[in-house]
């Protein structure tokens, strides 16, 4: 069992999200960084969609009351198992009674914790993900609180194993959106000619940006379907990048779409960070997605070969 001593900021259960229900107004939710989830579960030989803990900001403490192997991925929030520093991208073993703690970092915002075999949870609409806005999924439909207990099966220690995590970037690649022609400037002129600062009122629903030259407009559209990665442009000219917990429809012009491979970078962006947008082609976007899958395939092969060599 994993007991929450200090939950920090919005620590919650997430898997790869709730898909196939957007027509009913149900948000996707899910981990902000799918690569981190995949790597953690590969290290533990879990099923690919096994739910993990998404730890935001840090400042949290967890107690293992049952022995388990666990993996830590994502950003480096200066985690420690009792007094031993831990590095993201590795599999570790915890004895009963050991404390896993997270500090914080100016360079990272989210870390991910998976345990061997996964947590014992109920699915809602085919997913374990927490939809905080709607209040369902995960652990009682909300962020974890002090005293909450997550159950898992005890297991024996495995040898340590690590994985290379792809780096995070602040150069974000985009595709043109459907409403660029409704505005007086092109997508590249709108987004790619200046830096954008992450605003403090950003969250899992969306990342609000501010620039030195806001692109104001008076264009209105009928509400249309949106999804994570859609870049909306409100009349004040400050773009909003929709993220995992975003609504299913929106009425602001959609000027771009963040490529799927780059959405993970938003998991580590904090208020005040500066980002840039770069326009790419659909072929380039597809290639980057394939490159991520190739990275995971390489890791799967390496771990399988390593375990066979040990046995």
Give the pTM: 0.94
Q: How far is CA 244 from CA 16, 27, 30, 265, in A?
A: 10, 7, 6, 13
Task: Using CA atoms of 251, 253, 256, 259 in order, give the dihedral in degrees to the nearest 10.
Answer: 10
Domain boundaries, the chain: 2-162, 171-280
Cα separation, 210 vs 239, whole angstroms: 7
**Residue 97 structure tokens:** 């009674």
Q: Which of 12, 47, 18, 42 is nearest to 123 (CA)?
A: 18
pLDDT of residue 307: 65
* pLDDT recorded at residue 157: 92
d(CA 95, CA 154): 10
How wide is the angle at C-alpha 12 spanned by C-alphas 88 and 103, nearest 5°?
A: 45
Q: What is the DSSP string of the chain?
A: -EEEEE--EEEEEE-S---S-GGGT------S-HHHHHHHHHHHT--TT--EEEEES--EEEEE-S-EEEEEEES----EETTEE--TTEEEEE-TT-EEEE---SS--EEEEEETT------BTTB---BTTTTBSTBTTB---TT-EE----------EE-PPPPP-SEEEEEE-TTGGGSSS-HHHHHTTS-EEEPTT--SSEEEEEESS----------EE--TTEEE--TTS--EEE-TT--SEE-S-EEEEE-GGGGGGGGG--TT-EEEEEE--HHHHHHHHHHHHHHHHHHHHHHHHHHHHH-
Q: What is the mean pLDDT of each run of 10 residues along the chain (311 residues)?
A: 95 97 94 98 96 97 97 98 97 97 96 97 96 93 96 93 94 94 79 94 96 86 94 94 96 95 98 96 97 95 74 52
End-to-end C-alpha distance for the chain, whole angstroms: 29
For 55, phi then psi, to 5°, come to -105, 115
Report the C-alpha gap between 234 and 95 in whole angstroms.
51
Q: Does domain 171-280 have CATH number 2.60.40.1220?
A: no
Closest by CA to 5, choosing from 72, 76, 101, 79, is: 101
Nearest-angstrom CA–CA distance, 243 and 301 = 31
8 A C-beta contact, residue 174 and residue 280: yes
Whole-angstrom distance, CA of residue 256 vs CA of residue 143: 31
Q: Which residues, including other chains, have CB under 8 Å from residue 186's CB and lie 6 or more apart?
A: 180
């Amino acid at each position: 069992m994993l007991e929450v001593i200090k939950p920090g900021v919005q620590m919650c259960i997430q898997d790869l999200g709730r898909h196939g229900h957007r027509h009913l107004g149900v948000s996707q939710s899910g981990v902000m960084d799918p690569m981190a989830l995949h790597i953690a579960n590969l290290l533990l030989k879990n099923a690919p969609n096994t739910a993990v803990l998404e730890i935001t900001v840090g400042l949290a403490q967890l107690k293992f009351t049952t022995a388990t192997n666990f993996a830590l991925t994502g950003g480096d929030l200066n985690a420690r198992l009792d007094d031993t520093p831990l590095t993201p991208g590795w599999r570790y073993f915890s004895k009963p009674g050991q404390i896993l703690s997270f500090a914080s970092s100016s360079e990272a915002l989210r870390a991910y914790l998976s345990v061997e075999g996964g947590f014992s949870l109920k699915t809602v609409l085919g997913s374990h993900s927490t939809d905080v806005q709607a209040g369902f999924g995960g652990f009682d439909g909300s962020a974890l609180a002090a005293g909450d207990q997550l159950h898992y099966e005890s297991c024996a220690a495995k040898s340590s194993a690590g994985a290379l995590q792809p780096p995070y970037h602040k150069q974000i690649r985009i595709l043109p959106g459907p409403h660029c022609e409704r505005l007086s400037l092109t997508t590249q002129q709108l987004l790619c000619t200046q830096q954008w600062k992450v605003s403090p009122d950003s969250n899992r629903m969306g990342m609000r940006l501010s620039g030195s030259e806001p692109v104001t407009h008076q264009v209105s559209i009928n509400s249309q379907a949106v999804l994570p990665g859609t870049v909306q442009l409100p009349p004040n000219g400050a773009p909003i990048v929709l993220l995992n917990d975003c609504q299913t429809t929106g009425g602001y012009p959609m000027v771009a779409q963040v490529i799927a491979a780059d959405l993970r970078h938003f998991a580590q962006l904090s208020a005040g960070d500066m980002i840039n947008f770069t326009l790419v082609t659909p072929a380039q976007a597809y290639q980057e997605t394939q490159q991520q899958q190739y990275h995971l395939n390489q890791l799967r092969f390496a771990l399988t070969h390593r375990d066979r060599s040990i046995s």
